[in-house]
Amino acid sequence: MADSKLTLDDARLYIDGQWLDRSSAAQIAVVNPSTEQVAGHVAAGSSADVDLAVAAARRAFETFSNSTVEERLALLGRILALLEERAELFAQAIVTEMGAAVSFARASHVPYAIAHVRVQMEVLQRYTFLNNEDGTALAKEPIGVCALITPWNWPLYQITAKVAPAIAAGCTVVLKPSELSPYSAQLFAQVMHDAGVPAGVFNLVGGTGEVVGAALASHPDVDMISITGSTRAGVLVAQAAAVTVKRVVQELGGKSPNVFLDDADFENGVAKGVLAGMRNVGQSCSAPTRMLVPASRLAEVEALALAAAASIAVGDPSDEKTAMGPIANAAQFARVQAMIAAGMEEGAKLLCGGLGRPAGLTHGFFAQPTVFSNVTPGMRIAQEEIFGPVLVIMPYRDEAEAIAMANDTVYGLGAHLQSSDLDRARRVAGRIRAGQVNINYPTWNGHAPFGGYKRSGNGREYGVHGLEEYLETKAIIGY
């Protein structure tokens, strides 16, 4: 693969430091969601390919686990430089494979992905792998061979969020990206190769979850598995992994609240909340898609939300003026349409949007930015993850009910909270059962741990907490 060109038909896997041709194996079609046409094909890896990759990673671990911090920092630095150099190539790949608006791919998908590498370098520079206190040493050691399963909605971002800390820790890796948006991973494997990663330290086996994901989860020579995906997929991986007692880190579904206390800045905050909920076409597990507002302010919130949703330009993702491209794939488009229909059937108030494509778009998996109001906690659209540009507005009576509604879900990944009283906001944040709470729309922080309570998963990613998921703790007594 040329480093300056996106290859749409790429039937190769990257194992043990080299590209392996799998053009004679089964191929998976990659559909461009803007056109609904096949853009290209990638190879469907097999369980035998997984065995090859895991064996290569196991061999490489013996040496790489003993590499120095300086050596790993240098490798991460080369990876970082190549990602920055090829940023536009990755942005174009993300437009093709999942339909992200090119402006959003350039502003968020790619730079935030690159930031994960930079953050892990910062963490590694100051991390202490051995602490000795009163004759007992605590050693932090790489856990081993790590299987990394990444999703289609943030394809490059989730790769670097896992690969960077694994490399920083001294682990070796087998990556299984989503077969629905695989091009970012193919380009990333080339970056790893060109950065001089030692053979076997990084391996890429594309394919389906049913074949490649299942083989990795149950593999006896895989020490740890990290998956970002649906709660259903996370459960299946954990069940398969349990037999070999490997560590399982899961970043799964969400139904995140955005709680507006009565002293919030509604004029600015509601519009920001709509855009946050529909960011990445609503295809983010932490998207704040439940807007909880005082009942007395409901009419005002509805008017502000309607205006914000109407301002979103939906269309061709390659057009720099486009704010929102299509849903990333056919199955998810069908899911979003079904959930919009469910909201209408359940009697929620449809403020804007609804079923079908936006006016003027005759093909592609485009959905209308949709806002429901007067949504009650028992409705499906209040409980189930929709994963599309659908926001629900839920009125509450008082602060106690707002907190109860915020926590009334099987998920607990993220939450947003709006208030002009910081002390009050801190107190309420402490009562929200979620792994990350954002007060008044703070800037993204790559060092802040990310992960969920309840059915949103186990473990944490990003920053030092992300690094430590790839480490074992050894106590040496009498050191």
Task: For 452-471, write each residue's pLDDT tens digit.
Answer: 999 999 999 999 999 999 99
- Point out the catalytic residue in the list 97, 179, 251, 302: 251
From the list 97, 171, 179, 285, the catalytic residue is 285
**What pLDDT shows up at residue 358?**
97
Apex CA 215: angle with CA 209 and CA 217, to 5°?
85
Burial 297-318 (b: 16+ CB within 10 A, else e): bbeebbebbbebbeebebbbbe
- Average of pLDDT values for 386-402? 98
409 pLDDT more than 80: yes
pTM of the predicted protein model: 0.97
What percent of the chain lies above the pLDDT cut of 70?
A: 99
- pLDDT for res 180: 97
Domains of the chain: 9-252+457-477 (3.40.605.10), 257-445 (3.40.309.10)
Whether 165 has a pLDDT exceeding 80, the answer reads yes
Residue indicated by tokens 């020490």: 223
- Catalytic (active site) residue 141: no
Is 206:179 a contact under the CB 8 Å cutoff? yes
Q: How many residues does the chain have?
A: 479
Statement: residue 439 has pLDDT above 50: yes
Percent of the chain with pLDDT over 90: 99
- On the question of pLDDT at 90 being above 80, the answer is yes
Asked whether the predicted pLDDT for residue 265 surpasses 80, the reply is yes
* Catalytic residue status for 285: yes
For residue 3, pLDDT over 70 is answered with no
